[in-house]
Structure 1
Amino acid sequence: MESAAAKSISTASSRLLALAQQLRLYKAEESTGKLISHVGFHKPISPAKKAAVLICLFEGDDGDLRVILTKRASGLSTHSGEVSLPGGKAEEGDKDDDGVTATREAEEEIGLHPSLVDVVAFLEPFLSQHLLRVTPVVGILWDRKAFNPTPNPAEVEAVFDAPLEMFLKDENRRSEEIEWNGKRHLLHFFDYNTEDKDYVIWGLTARILIRVASVVYQRPPAFIERIPDFKYPRMHTACVIKLENYQDKSKPFDMKAKLVLGECGIIQLCSPLSWKMWEHTALQSEWPTVEFNLKKSGSRR
């Protein structure tokens, strides 16, 4: 039987159809095994607990793209009263399917039946403050009128929606610098007002929505998203230098040699070199070009 989502596609705007097609082509970069933390940095760990949240997008009356959000019930033990995305922890019956987890939780929390949502993309998983692996699942609600919010009072106090593009703008946004895990980070707070209520969207929810908006609109936010981390890896002295057809080791030579730096993963051609043993401070592999001379430490250009 054809799902409600499939039936509504025929009446969807060309803009929404194009967006769905674009998002279906998105491939999350999970090959490194790293997660995006809720404060914007990668953590090379694999948490045992998994969760998924639903970023349910639909077209508003004015043609703008909007996302469904909730305000958590005040009686919850964690994050009570905060704005969040529908979602929760994975269960055995989900069969390791983040889409199933996100849509199941959305139905339990706000009465959004999975048949109304067309899952189109999975973004890079985020690492929550409590070390929970959270996967953003992007879904399209083709027919907003078919959804009648019925919040579960034990979990959700209110259901509302907001324009997705606001998470790329510097308007109604403020930030706070904090220290977490020995590093400085930026927490973003977005103030949003409806006709009768005021909401603050921050923390993991804000970080995920900034990422989703960047993917959807194909541009970065109009504000500094995170504090750069200029951490230097530890000193490296074990370098492999391959010299070819060079006999006189008492003089500097003017030929190119391959320099391989173990953990940094940097392969660089450099010249001239001398035979003097040296140590250097290895720079981060993200920096595009590193120039080395055996007489002195490595430098960035």
Structure 2
Amino acid sequence: MAEESRLERDAMVAALADFEYRELRVDGRRAAVAVAIGGAAGDRRMILTKRPSRLRAHPGQFALPGGSLDPGETAPQACLRELAEEVGLTAEPSDILGRLDDYGTRSGYVITPFVVWVGDTLSTMTIDPGEVATVYEVDAAEIDSDPRFVSIEESDKPVVQWPFRTSLVHAPTGAIVHQFREVVLHRRHTRVADFEQPVFAWR
């Protein structure tokens, strides 16, 4: 099956149904992100954003649409709310096709990634400039990039880097995209919870 076909809804549902995600049962602030897939048939894209440089937390970094859970909110609810708030894409609970492994960050968050189908609606995106500086539509070939792993003195875990165009995207975003690539494009149940973040992202 061609990479592009693996980003069609039915193919992703089948791939995620075979994947047994892992939850992190630890105390920590909870967040949820959307691996949002949509666009024209045969040319589906993943939504990636870049945060404004003026933000206090993680300025200028690549991110998937998402954020912290509000009081009383579930992770799926937060994922869909943040997707609508940040990039103006509305999805229903039934559009959540599956989830990937929780990722614990150095800053104390447990991030739950959901794969969300947004169909043909990418042309309707409207970004919130307070949350998003740039939005990218990432095609299957760009998702399917071999990661790089770097050793650092501060940790015995490898720092993962997902190559994207002229940049390197680090964990958590780089780790989540890498697992999505492995699970959905290649049906490899690769774990990423032990991939490290660069030191600059530990705050």
Q: TM-score range by the shorter chain?
A: 0.7 to 0.9
2:136, 2:7 → 1: CA distance? 23
Q: Which residue of 1 aligns with 2:35?
A: 55
Q: Which residue of 1 aligns with 2:58?
A: 79
User: Aligned AA for 2:185?
Assistant: Y
* Cα distance, 1:117–1:109 mapped onto 2, change above 3 Å: farther
The offset of 1:149, in angstroms, is: 1.9
Q: Is the 8 A contact 1:174 1:190 kept in 2?
A: yes
1:167, 1:159 → 2: CA distance? 15
* Structure 2 residue 165 is matched with structure 1 residue 176: no
Q: What aligned pairs does 1:1-301 form with structure 2 within 5 A after superposition?
A: 16-23=8-15, 25-30=17-22, 35=24, 46-60=26-40, 63-94=42-73, 97-115=74-92, 118-145=95-122, 147-170=123-146, 174-180=148-154, 182-192=155-165, 199-220=167-188
SS in 2 for 1:114: coil
1:200, 1:189 → 2: CA distance? 6
2:50, 2:20 → 1: CA distance? 28
2:152, 2:40 → 1: CA distance? 35
- Gapped regions of structure 2 (runs ≥ 5): 196-203
Cα RMSD, aligned residues only: 3.0
Q: 1:7-51 deviations in whole A, cap 9, x for unaligned?
A: xxxxxx997242243156245343xx6x4xxxxxxxxx6033111
SS in 2 for 1:152: coil
1:117, 1:68 → 2: CA distance? 19
TM-score (norm 2): 0.77
Q: 1:36-79 deviations in whole A, cap 9, x for unaligned?
A: xxxxxxxxx60331111000012556x24421011101111121
The offset of 1:220, in angstroms, is: 4.7
Q: As a proportion of its length, which structure holds more helix?
A: 2
Q: 1:269-301 deviations in whole A, cap 9, x for unaligned?
A: xxxxxxxxxxxxxxxxxxxxxxxxxxxxxxxxx
1:206, 1:81 → 2: CA distance? 15
TM-score (norm 1): 0.54
> Structure 1 runs of 4+ off > 4 angstroms?
none
In the comparison of the two structures, how many residue pairs are matched? 187
User: Aligned AA for 1:113?
Assistant: T
SS in 1 for 2:95: strand
Q: Is the 8 A contact 1:110 1:150 kept in 2?
A: yes
